[in-house]
Amino acid sequence: MFARILTALALFALAASLFLFLSRSHQGYGLDDLVGGRRLGTPEKLTLPSASPLSEGEVPGLARLNNEVTTLISTVAPAVVSVNTARVTRRQAIDFFGNVRLFQSYVPGLGSGVIISKEGHMVTNYHVVEQADEIQVVMHDGTKCLAEKIGEDRNADIALLRIINPRIKEFKALPFADSDQVKVGETVFAIGNPFGLRESVTQGIINHRDRQISDSDAPKFQTDAVINPGNSGGPLVNIRGEIVGINVAIYAGQQEVRVWQGVGLAIPANDVVRAVDRIRNEGKSKAGYLGLQAEIQVTEDGTENMVLTDVTPGSPADKAGLKPGDVLLRFGGQPVTREFDLFTRINRRPIDQAVEIVVRRDATEMTVTAVVADREALLSQEEKLAERRDLREQIGIEVQNITERQRRHIPQQIGGVVVTAVEPDSPSDGILYRGSIIYEVNGVAIDSVEKFFSIISTLKGKKFPLKYIRGGYSYTVSIMLPE
């Protein structure tokens, strides 16, 4: 054992002697080099280039382009603002001691906007401020100001606001371009507040002018300038610093993907100007609606036809007798060669005005007359029906107006609605019953289904008393609706 130890020590001494000999005769083999890669206290030798590989004179075009773009952005940016919104939600709850307490919370939102007048008027998307109880804008220099809503155009998705700041005598504003003159391939810049990152700028071109398939939707510009959540309401500007459009959406090619996928959409400037003018004059904007979808289809012999691809049930187009598959020949006495032309004519048509539409169906030419409707009014009605369906699901009952036969069993001075169905495991299950006649909700007399749902819609998240008659007896119960 001892002999083995002596042998190992001898070998180690021999290796150490050999290493020391080599380190003296060969640079880079010292002990410091072996441990740390360099001698301790000696700085690493690192020489950075001191000259640019190219001068601006060698790339004059790029240098000029670079300077022009930065000049454009620095000129335009002061008119672009961030829009921060807050929606206030309130709910009542009963604490451990039986006391009713009011809880208040704020739901934040964000978007972008652009100033269009020296008085501080600005536009953004309607959906950015739709449910906002408070609107704050952040100016180019970081100044925070409140803004008041002047009016909105739900159809165009445009809202007109005015910035409140008496210390600013004149606001930096941008003019609108004539969007009818915009060409595919034109260079544009999107400026806005994506993900809350103020004054972000992206560059692209106009990829398509009139992206639209239905008269329930307005035509949009398509661009490959990057647009993400938070860009909504910000301007799309041209190389002259004019507003070409208002950024509104990204194309959702893949579901569940809410970031840019190569296709951004913007509301054309001329549509924005028309919306602003109508809001100024009327407080709101109206757009014509027939309830149809159409597209250009090419036949085997190369003929292009404008074909109706869908007709909304109950719409003016449906009432006029139009059907999917009809080939549109003339609208208002004029031929139509593009989807954009058709939908623009419908949108700009005066409300309640009749229009002749000539179509070909199964080789037979026919003329129908449709009455243009107010798109916002119809969409509001559809939203009201959808809200009523939601309320039915939340409270868990179906109701209908009282028939004359049912009225014989209740006092003459009492109105009400009759319960026709009760959903199991709903807030009404075990409290209300089929055949019950509801005549009062939260102290308000009920005389129709419309009145019942109108009152119920104001009581979300609250516990309220409800009175009904069943079997000749009157009952009072409490119901709590989810928020």
Closest CA to 437 of 471, 461, 465, 405: 471
Could you tell me the two tokens for 114? Answer: 């652009």
Tokens 């609208």 belong to: 331
> For residue 267, what are the β-bridge partners?
246
Neighbours of 454 (CB within 10 A): 16
3-class DSSP state of 331? strand
Could you tell me the two tokens for 408? Answer: 């014989």
Could you tell me the two tokens for 365? Answer: 């030419």
Closest CA to 110 of 89, 138, 79: 138
CB 62 within 8 A of CB 54: no
Q: Would you tell me the crossing angle of helices 375-395 and 449-456 to the nearest 10 degrees?
A: 80
The Cα–Cα gap between 186 and 179 comes to 11
Cα 130 to the chain's mean position, in Å? 10
The burial of 203, by beta-carbon neighbours within 10 Å (0-12 exposed, 13-18 middle, 19 or more buried), is given as middle
Three-point CA angle 415, 399, 318, nearest 5°: 110
Q: What are the angstrom distances between the C-alpha of 157 and each of 153, 212, 267, 346, 350?
A: 6, 15, 8, 17, 19
> For residue 359, what are the β-bridge partners?
328, 366
The Cα–Cα gap between 411 and 469 comes to 10
Tokens 């050999």 belong to: 18
Q: Which residues contact 163 (CB under 8 A, 6 or more apart)?
A: 81, 115, 120, 121, 122, 137, 145, 146, 147, 171
* Residue positions annotated with a catalytic role: 127, 157, 232
Q: b/e string for 179-190 if b means 16 or more Cβ within 10 A?
A: beebeeebebbb
> For residue 371, what are the β-bridge partners?
354
> For residue 91, what are the β-bridge partners?
103
The Cα–Cα gap between 299 and 296 comes to 10
Closest CA to 146 of 155, 156, 133: 133
